[in-house]
Each structure stands twice: as C-alpha cells, then as structure tokens.
Structure 1
Amino acid sequence: MSSRARRITATLGGLVAACATMTSVFAGSAAATPLDGVPNGITSITLTKSSADMRRIAEYWSPTRLKQAMDNVPAAPEMKSDGPPSSAATPGSATARSATAAAASATGESAAATTMAAEAGATTGGKGSAASGGSAPVVKPTLPKKRAPASGSSPVTVGKVFFRIGAKDYWCSASSVAATNRNLVATAGHCAYDAKTGSPAEYWIFIPGYDKGSTPYGIYVGHSLNLHEDFVGRGDYDYDYAFVTVHDGFRWKAGKTSGSYEMESVGSLEDNVGGQGLATNRGAGLSALAFGYPAAPHPDGSRPYNGQQLKWCRGLTVRVKAPTRLVEQGVALACPFTNGASGGPWLIFYDNKNSVGYLNGVNSFAWDVNTDRKYDRISSPYFIASTYVVYHWAATQQAPRS
C-alpha cells in the first residue's frame, strides 16, 4: 500500500466493511433500477420517485443528525499506486490564497472568458444554455435570482454533500452548475457511487455555501445520480465525476412545539446561489482555482484543515499520466489539499466580481509527489465530450415537485 497516492475522499473511509451488504429502506431509493431510456454511456440512478421520498430523506437529515455529521472528521482508505503521477511539466506554484487574489490575472482570463461566453451564446444571469464551440461544448455560468452576488467573495455555489453508504454517513465537497432544470450539482463520482462494491449513495443532500455548520441557502435532496458508465462498470477513475439532479431546497425552522422542526421551501438551487459554467476539451496550462473542504491529516499526521470552512488553491493545470490502473489520464495542479476536498470544483476563467467561472474538473486524488509525507498535488479527470454528455442528460432531468 503506497503512501504516495491517496484518493481525496473524506467520505469513504472503511468502505469495504461498511458496504458488504446494502438494502433499500424505501421505494425509490438508490437501490432502484437505473432510469429507462438513458443514453448509452450514462448510468442514471433514481434516488427519489416522489415528493414523499424527498421528505423522507430530508427528515433523515434532521438538525441533530446533520450537526453530528458536520462534526465528524472523515478518514479515507489508502489507494494502491505504483508511484506519483508523471507529467511533462511542473505545475506552477499553488500557494493557498483568497478568491480575491485570483483577480491579479483577471485581465487575460476575462478576455478568454468572453470568448467562451460568445461560444455559449448566453448572457450572464440568463438561463443556463450550451452550444458547441467547435468540438468543445460550453455552458455559461449563471447568477442567483434571489440575491446579488457579493463582490470578491468565495463562491457560494460550492458546499458540502452528505450521504449514506451501507451503515455509515459520509461527506464530500461539490458545486452547483448551471442547468436547464436549475437544480444540478457536480461532484466526484466516488462521492455518489462506490465502484468497488457497486453501491450507490443513499440519502444524498447538498448544502451550498456551507460554513462552520451553517446552511444559509438551504438543503437540497438528491433526485438522481448521473455518472459515466465506465466509472460504474469498471471503476475507471478517469471518469470520477457525477452530476446529481436535486429537488428544490428547504431549510429547517423551529416548529410549533418545543424542540420540533418544520421544513420551509426556499426554491431552486440556481435561483439561490447561481451555477458555475462548464467547459470541456480545454487542454492544460490553464490557471485554475480548486475549491473544497479538506479535513483529514497529511500522511505525516499534521492537520492544517478542519473541514468547516471553504479552502482554495490556485495554479496552472498540467496533463498527467499516472502509473496506476486507478487513473491513467488526467490533469493536475500543485495544492496541499487533504481528504474532504473530494468533489470540489476546478474553475477556469474565474470572474472574481461575480464569483463564477467554468467547471473544468473536480478534486479526485491527492498525491505526495516529493514523498515528504505531505500531499502536494491534486488531480482531476480530464473533461471531454463524454463529460458533457453526462452533464446534458442530468441537466434535463426534473425532480418531482411538492
């Protein structure tokens, strides 16, 4: 078992033992048959078939249980690897800095973003749309309808996902993405499905803008998990991403009797926080901001993060080919993230004023490249045309409404 490469997952520690068996606890759970009529190459798994299913999952994540889950520091199993990823170039320095500091190179990035926006044929704040820019589809980011974005702030589209596999609760990082259904979340594939045991996640929820346990923009229950079939069928981490359709959100408010709680609707995810765009086939050498909620210690035992606040890294992406069957092709950047950051977005052409950019990857693996027992590089699947196909299918799925 190599210490050089570990998957960045704050959620799947002890997974083999926990998921030897899994049973459905209600109709419409993740154990249901994948959706009919799904295009080739996509695995789509229904989590809820009705608003009653949605409420049952919401009630599972009571304020008490959610607080307990938020306080847990997850641990991840070691992943086999023959060594660190190889690359033709060395990533640029990735010192952690605020999203505001990303504006230092805004001039060049804004020009590139403008070109991408023209390809998408959409305007900021409008309906999420996609058009083909040659062979590379582009989805334009959108701004929230219910509030004005805070200039220079961290993106509130990013948050935590909580879910259950087997007998245990886990969490990961994720982000809202612009979509036709206005209720779509992007995360890592292993934050929605355990390919090793063939177990999809259950009781899946997303909390955007999570900060020290708060749920400022509501809680969003997962409706369907949408993944590339090679991740589900072959455990191929070159496709370690998932697009999860969610229901309209809710927040817990005090009930009429002491100690009770009631659900209060807050509307669609995109109306509340906006959605990041999406770009595929963009190559390497891009300035990217990686976001997430790292929590676990480095291999040497040091623990710089607690998983309660959003963190970020900034660097240049490079193409990598890792000498392991877990991931053969991908992109990487220098970053000291630890377990817990899994599923967090990589954003390119970042607009610091509106805190939006284009999703071009998700945190998947952490690497100790210089073998000093501290993670110093993270990697993501390389987003290609098939990534867009999974996205597009998920973006058109509608969760049942109350």
Structure 2
Amino acid sequence: MSPRARRLATTLGALVAACVTATSALPGSAAATPFESVPGSVTSLILTKSSADMKRIAEYWNPARLKQAQDNNPATPEVKPSEGTPSSAPTSASPTPSGEATATTASGGENTTTTTTPAKTATPQAVRPTLPKKRQPATGTSPITVGKVFFRIGDKDYWCSASSIASANDNLVATAAHCAYDAKTGRPAEYWIFIPGYDRGATPYGIYVGHSVNLHERFVSWGDYDYDYAFISVHGGFRWKPGKTAGSYQMEAVGSLEDNVGGQGLAIRRGTNLLTYAFGYPAAPHNDGSRPYDGQSLKYCGGRTRKQIAPARLVEHGIALKCPFTAGASGGPWLVDYDPKTALGYLNGVNSFAWDTDVDRKYDLISSPYFIASTYVVYHWAGSQRAPS
C-alpha cells in the first residue's frame, strides 16, 4: 500500500466499549436502495471443535493476559498495493451484481463449508432486535451489546470491536471480516473471544469464545472489502472468579450471549441518507500524531449515511459517515432506528475503513460495506451454527 494510500485510508482496528448516553432516537429514512442485491456464497470456518477447545482458548485469555491485552495492536486489514490508492474525492461507479447461484456444495476440508444461495430466495428486509432476559435495560444507556474482540494471528495478539446480534442460536456476534480472518495468510484468527460491555478492562457480562467464523466468499477468495463483515457464532459465556488458592481462578458459566445482553437487529437494502449511530473503541493516533482516544471506553458518532466509493476495487459499494474515529473501531456496529430506552436498533453496517478526505492528516470519515441480500445469507447461516456444549 502506497504512503498516500496509508494517509487517506486506514481501518479502524478495535473500537472500545464504554457507556455513552444516547439523547434521541434515530428513525431511519425511506431512501431508495442504491445497489442491487448480490447473491453470494458463505465460507464457514470452525474455530473450536469441542468443549475442550473452548476451555483451552478460555484459559489462554486468563485474567493476567486480558489485563495486558489493551496494549496490543488493533487489527487492520491486509490491503494489497495492486488495489490502488483511495481517492479523497470518491468517484461514482455502477455495481456489477454476480450471477445467480443454484447449488449447495462443501469444500475446503472438514473445518470449512461453502454454501451458495439462489438469488430469488425470499430474504427478510429486517430482523428484530431482542432484549436481554437476565436484566432490564435502563433508559439512556449505551448498548451493552457492543464490546471488544481479542484474538491471535501468527504470534501476536490483536483486538477489534463487535456487537451481539439477534439470531436463532442466541450466540452470534457481528464484526468486520478483517477482525476474524487474516487476508495475508488466508486463515481465520485463532483464540477468538468477545467481551460485551467492555469498559476499562471489565467483563461485566462474561467472555464468549468463538465457535465458527462465517464470511462472504468474496472476502475470502478476492479480498473484497465490499464484504468486510463477519458473523461469529460463540459458545455460552463464562466469567473468571477467584479460585480456592491465592492467585488462582475458576471459570463460572453465565449462559447465552443474548440472555445476558440482548441482540441488535439486522437491516439490509435500506439505502443511504439514514440517521445512524456508529459505535466503537477508537485507540490509535491520527496521522498527525494527535491521539484523542485511548480505546478503553465506548465512543459513538451520529449522522446520515452516503455512498462511499474508491477506485481500483478498494471500496466500490460502501456507505460512509462523517466521523473522526481512528484505528481500533473496526467491527463496531452501525445502528439505525436506535432506541435509547432499550439501547437497541438495527445493524446496518460495521466500521471498516477510516478516511482523511481533506488530507489534513486527521481522519474525518468512516465507511462500511453496504448490507444486501447476501449479507443476510451469511447472517442466517451463521445463526444456524451451534457450539458443542
């Protein structure tokens, strides 16, 4: 990636979760859908085969390691130099829908499943959010569905932002694809966990180990950041409690993710000009060296979305929002129709890239993939995956 590309576009690594008070609801507009529905395939990669795998990963993220994890680097995507330099003044382009798929196949070994879905399969325009069963949400709270994910790529630990989303399995997390899959090595992240409601190291609603990561095949095969989203099914949660001897800890089960924090809804093909909240844990400095965020608490931006297109396939069908988030926010949710009384809304995107559109060495815009029918296909498949008990 060229120096100018680095100056103009970077990903939002990990976005942190702290309390933010929402002051008003965010009604979505009835804007026309700007992009065609693109059918596509799902690549599903198993992260843990058994409860023993889950326990091994849980023990890796012991209290001492979690305490140090904030000092790790936020994850950013692998962008190839051949993909070109993003423009500070995005150009217009017409989407090219892929052809209809009619088969269901399996490939890639015992841990990988690829499925394709017909273009004309009925797809809901929205999935309703769900309230947590184990607590009553307080008026004016920030979404406790949002939190941090921690994982390992190679010999290094990284982190990102993410959110719980309503699903059939009650244990589903939405984030950016580059926060769960390493495009450089072509492998999923390892030791993947989600901590909802993360705030300055606290894990108030438990820790959830990833079971399977589910992505659009175009991100896996093409490195296409128009599909920079992932839905990760997780095991039931646990928390660390003091053990019987000094300095020791024990795992205590806390139940399903949705029971503890609820789940955001899902919206697709909603168009642009929607009043939207983007949440995350920005942490890295701007290109000028200034550092307004520390990644320890949840932040948000609000505004209306528009198209975001860059040349050379970096982002062709994205949506954008004015926001000064820096690296660390990747994977955090974009919510429309947000209700501050329940801290719930509809997921309409995830933080993917940050942009310096006026080239003043400070980021002023964030972008997300545009959610279409094939996004729902990935989501629906992910929600059918259930971790072993």
TM-score, length-scaled by structure 2: 0.82
Tell me by how many angstroms 1:6 deviates.
1.4
In structure 2, the residue matched to 1:58 is: 58
- Aligned equivalents of 1:86 and 1:301: distance in 2? 25
In structure 2, the residue matched to 1:359 is: 347
- Aligned equivalents of 1:324 and 1:301: distance in 2? 28
- Aligned equivalents of 1:305 and 1:247: distance in 2? 31
Letter in 1 for 2:195: I
> Secondary structure of the residue that 2:70 maps to in structure 1?
helix
- Aligned equivalents of 1:73 and 1:165: distance in 2? 11
Aligned residue pairs total 331
Residue of 9, 30, 36 corresponding to 1:5? 9
Tell me by how many angstroms 1:78 deviates.
8.9
Tell me by how many angstroms 1:82 deviates.
3.5
- Aligned equivalents of 1:87 and 1:216: distance in 2? 44
- Aligned equivalents of 1:361 and 1:70: distance in 2? 25
- Aligned equivalents of 1:286 and 1:220: distance in 2? 32
In structure 2, runs of 5+ residues without a counterpart are: 16-38, 93-119
Root-mean-square deviation (CA, aligned residues, Å) is: 2.0
> Secondary structure of the residue that 2:270 maps to in structure 1?
coil
Check conservation: 1:84, 1:323, Cα contact below 8 A.
no
Letter in 1 for 2:190: E
- 1:168 aligned to 2:156? yes
Residue of 213, 230, 244 corresponding to 1:256? 244
Check conservation: 1:218, 1:250, Cα contact below 8 A.
yes
In structure 1, the residue matched to 2:88 is: 84
1:59 to 1:135, Cα distance in 2 relative to 1, 3 A: closer
Check conservation: 1:85, 1:320, Cα contact below 8 A.
no
- Aligned equivalents of 1:71 and 1:397: distance in 2? 32
In structure 1, runs of 5+ residues without a counterpart are: 12-38, 89-131
Letter in 2 for 1:83: S
Larger mean Cα displacement after TM superposition, 340-349 or 68-77: 68-77
Residue of 289, 293, 309 corresponding to 2:277? 289
- Aligned equivalents of 2:384 and 2:367: distance in 1? 28
> Secondary structure of the residue that 2:221 maps to in structure 1?
helix
1:324 to 1:84, Cα distance in 2 relative to 1, 3 A: farther
- Aligned equivalents of 2:73 and 2:300: distance in 1? 19
- 1:398 aligned to 2:380? no
Letter in 2 for 1:346: W
Deviations 1:23-44, CA, capped at 9 Å, x for gaps: xxxxxxxxxxxxxxxx970100
Residue of 265, 281, 284 corresponding to 2:253? 265
Tell me by how many angstroms 1:199 deviates.
2.1
> Secondary structure of the residue that 1:55 maps to in structure 2?
helix
> Secondary structure of the residue that 1:314 maps to in structure 2?
strand
Tell me by how many angstroms 1:69 deviates.
0.6
1:46 to 1:254, Cα distance in 2 relative to 1, 3 A: same
In percent, how many aligned pairs have the same letter?
A: 71
Letter in 1 for 2:362: K
Check conservation: 1:196, 1:235, Cα contact below 8 A.
no
- Aligned equivalents of 1:310 and 1:324: distance in 2? 33
In structure 2, the residue matched to 1:341 is: 329
- 1:380 aligned to 2:356? no
The higher-RCO structure (CA 8 Å, 6+ apart) is: 2
- Aligned equivalents of 2:90 and 2:219: distance in 1? 22
Tell me by how many angstroms 1:4 deviates.
1.0
TM-score, length-scaled by structure 1: 0.79
Tell me by how many angstroms 1:50 deviates.
0.9
Judging by fraction of residues, say which structure has more helix.
Answer: 1
Deviations 1:255-282, CA, capped at 9 Å, x for gaps: 0011100000000000000000000000
